[in-house]
Amino acid sequence: MILVVLGTQDKPFTRLLDTIQNQIKKGNIKDKVIVQAGCTKYESSDMEIFDLIPTDEFNKLIKDADLIITHGGVGSILEGVKNNKVILAAPRLKKHGEHVNDHQLQIVDEFAKMGYIIPLKDFNKLDKLLIKAKKFKPKEFVSNNRNFVTLLESYIDTL
């Protein structure tokens, strides 16, 4: 199953859904596709589309997903990274009216440099990136919570 996450931005991201729909029609995507579309209005008989998905259901979908295709928001990317999922991340762009600026480009670039995701910046290459995703092994996410707790305990001990 492919989970598509467009986030809660108040601007549509139909460009990404059009690209996915095109790949379904070409036969390059055969998996079930579930979309959390936020404010993006889109109709397709090939994808299950929801405006928002309750948190518990969303977390289950993330765990069950074979691939996550997401916008370039930090929260959406991190949810997939923490679950060690293969992620294609597509930045929303100002020039297409998808966001107020292009900060998602930097976010996607940084996560890609660290080996956590595959950047999807050229939508014409989605077919090739879908093939790459099948072999991609994302870098494992290691939480820093233990280090933080150790530092906090050390600080408290000095009081």
**Tens of pLDDT along 106-119?**
999 999 999 999 99
Task: Report how far residue 73's alpha carbon sits from residue 77's, in angstroms, rounded to the nearest whole number.
Answer: 6
Query: What confidence category does residue 152 fall into, taking pLDDT thresholds of 50, 70 and 90?
Result: low
**What would the pLDDT profile of 40-81 be if each residue is shown by its tens digit?**
999 999 999 999 999 999 999 999 999 999 999 999 999 999
DSSP string, 125-148: GHHHHHHHHHH--PPPP---HHHH
pLDDT of residue 26: 98
pLDDT at 153 over 90: no
pLDDT band at 147 (very low <50, low <70, confident <90, very high): low
Write the DSSP string, 5-60.
Answer: E--S-SS--HHHHHHHHHHHHTTS--S-EEEE-TT-----SSSEEES---HHHHHH
pTM of the predicted protein model: 0.89
pLDDT per residue as tens digits for the range 2-50:
999 999 889 999 999 999 999 999 999 999 999 999 999 999 999 999 9
Architecture of the domain whose range is 2-157: 3-Layer(aba) Sandwich (3.40)
Whole-number pLDDT of residue 144: 72
**Region 140-153: what's the mean pLDDT?**
70
pLDDT score recorded for residue 9: 86
Spell out the domain ranges in the chain: 2-157
